[in-house]
């Protein structure tokens, strides 16, 4: 029962490759043209019943095409047209009575059904069509075409139709497999490209953005700040006496400490428009966009206390038994063409120097900004 319902279950259009979408649109137009042409020909030769059937099929195809254009539902349209073709060829087979090898035209049903609907649904349509066609043609053995339709002819029809349908199914299955392999290869390529890009803009040790990403982002963030009329604040954070720390505890312990400091920065500064970086060595930086300059300064200054409260032992430090940091902060307000965003780094670096000269384990705000 579930398989029967699959005839009309609409799959997501993304499940169909672009090739099939093109085929479906072409098939809809082709059925309109062919059915309309057959209707005119049969009308001219006074085959009125055939002309009526062709006209009905043409109308169904036209309505399906209009529905597809208005709603974009390609799959439902092709399901309707395929069912229309199944009915058409069954009626055609009954009317033609196998004269002049007319049943040869039925080979187009599995070709159209499988290429347009995919191997699974197309196979269902083909099985439905041939089950009815074989039963109909077997029933009329020695009756159709004034008794010239024989059992041998019927067997040939069954074998030829079965082989053709099987070949079309295998062909479509191979195309689907090739398409899936191609999509998988492209997905791996995109993933690898993203990984390479991520590696190029992040610090491998801490996972923070690196100096290269800072250089790429600073102009974009300054433009965003100017457009939204926000202040842009830049700070540089440097670990106090970190060279002594490495000499005393070793570089492995030093790397672990850098990661801990980076984690504090990530947890403390986590808004979407704010960024933290590792500039190199024991030096970190961050950019914050805000319309509250004083509050931002206080927020950044809290980092000195937060990091000292980690209680990371630092016996080689000259100012504390624990790891400490110094911070230089600079802010630009009302950005305009006269203020170079590069001044931020200069101001923050000068404020950092003042914090270190003033005894370390503190933050200083650049007055020039």
> Using alpha carbons only, how large is the chain's radius of gyration in Å?
37
**Chain centroid to CA 235: how far?**
36
Residues constituting the chain? 369
Helix (H, G, I), strand (E, B) or coil at 185: helix
| 23-24-27 Cα angle (round to 5) | 85
- Residue whose structure tokens are 């020909």: 41
- Distance, in Å, from the CA atom of 79 to the CA atom of 237, rounded to the nearest integer, reads 64
CB 171 within 8 A of CB 122: no
Pair of tokens at residue 249? 């505890």
What residues are labeled active site?
282
Compute the C-alpha angle 238/332/216, nearest 5°: 65
- Strand partners of residue 330: 234
- Beta carbons within 8 Å of 124's beta carbon, 6+ residues apart: 3, 4, 6, 7
Q: Give the N- to C-terminal CA distance of the chain in Å, as an integer.
A: 75
Distance CA 292, CA 294 (A): 6
Residues with Cβ within 8 Å of residue 76, at least 6 apart in sequence? 8, 10, 67, 68
Q: What is the DSSP string of 277-315?
A: EEEETTEEEEEEEES-HHHHHHHHHHHHHHHHTT--B-T
Residue with token string 């085959």:
47
């Amino acid at each position: 029962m579930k398989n029967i319902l699959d005839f009309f279950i609409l799959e997501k259009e993304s499940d169909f490759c672009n090739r099939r979408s093109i085929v479906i649109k072409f098939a809809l137009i082709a059925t309109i043209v062919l059915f309309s042409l057959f209707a005119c020909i049969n009308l001219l030769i006074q085959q009125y019943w055939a002309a009526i059937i062709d006209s009905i099929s043409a109308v169904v195809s036209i309505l399906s095409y209009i529905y597809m254009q208005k709603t974009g539902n390609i799959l439902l349209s092709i399901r309707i047209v395929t069912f229309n073709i199944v009915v058409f060829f069954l009626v055609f087979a009954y009317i033609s009575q196998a004269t002049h090898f007319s049943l040869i035209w039925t080979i187009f049903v599995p070709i159209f059904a499988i290429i347009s609907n995919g191997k699974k649904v197309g196979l269902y349509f083909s099985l439905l069509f041939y089950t009815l066609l074989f039963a109909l043609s077997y029933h009329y053995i020695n009756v159709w075409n004034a008794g010239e339709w024989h059992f041998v002819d019927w067997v040939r029809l069954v074998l030829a139709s079965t082989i053709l349908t099987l070949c079309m199914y295998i062909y479509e299955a191979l195309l689907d497999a090739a398409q899936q392999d191609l999509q998988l290869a492209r997905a791996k390529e995109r993933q690898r490209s993203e990984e390479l890009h991520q590696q190029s803009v992040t610090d491998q040790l801490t996972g923070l953005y690196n100096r290269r990403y800072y250089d790429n982002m600073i102009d974009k963030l300054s433009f965003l700040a100017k457009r939204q009329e926000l202040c842009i604040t830049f700070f540089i954070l440097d670990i106090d006496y970190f060279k002594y720390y490495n000499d005393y505890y070793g570089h492995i312990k030093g790397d672990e400490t850098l990661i801990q400091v980076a984690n504090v920065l990530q947890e403390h500064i986590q808004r979407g428009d704010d960024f933290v970086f590792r500039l190199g060595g024991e030096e970190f930086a961050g950019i914050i966009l805000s319309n509250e300059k004083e509050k931002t300064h206080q927020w950044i200054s809290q980092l000195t206390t937060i990091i000292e409260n980690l209680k990371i032992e630092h016996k080689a430090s000259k100012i504390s038994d624990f790891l400490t940091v110094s911070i230089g902060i600079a802010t630009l307000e009302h950005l305009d063409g006269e203020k170079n965003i590069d001044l931020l780094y200069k101001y923050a670096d000068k404020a950092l120097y003042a914090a270190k000269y003033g005894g370390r384990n503190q933050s200083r705000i650049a007055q020039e900004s």
